[in-house]
């Protein structure tokens, strides 16, 4: 039920390969950030399966207020060393929780 998101933007994020997710599936996710007591909840669709590189999730339509909240959350996310890179290769990550899942 927990996904580690990376390459996150206001449009979506990439997650590690997950046998429980498939292209076309819909998710409701709670994105947890350091500066918020309540998670940011967003709908997403599995857009693409890039094999070992993971799955691409596209966020559903967001209103202006939601984009501002998500942008603030992104500004405070931690960076960790990228898996395939060296110590100077960092990626921003977000911990997300799957609240609901619908298969394609």
Span 36-64, pLDDT tens digits = 678 999 999 999 999 999 999 999 999 99
| Residue numbers of the chain with a pLDDT score lower than 70 | 34-36, 79-91
What's the pLDDT at 11? 94
Q: What's the CA gap between 76 and 28, in Å, rounded? A: 22
Q: E-assigned strands of the chain?
A: 2-9, 12-15, 26-32, 40-49, 55-59, 79-81, 90-102
- The tokens describing 53, both together, are 């590189």
């Amino acid at each position: 039920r927990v996904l580690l998101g990376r390459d996150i933007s206001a449009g979506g994020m990439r997650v590690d390969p997950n046998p429980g997710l498939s292209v076309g599936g819909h998710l409701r996710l709670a994105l947890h950030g350091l500066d918020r007591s309540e998670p940011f909840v967003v709908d997403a669709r599995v857009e693409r399966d890039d094999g070992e590189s993971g799955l691409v999730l596209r966020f559903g339509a967001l209103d202006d207020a939601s984009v501002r909240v998500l942008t603030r959350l992104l500004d405070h996310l931690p960076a960790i060393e990228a898996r395939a890179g060296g110590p100077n290769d960092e990626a921003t990550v977000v911990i997300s929780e799957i609240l609901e899942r619908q298969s394609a």
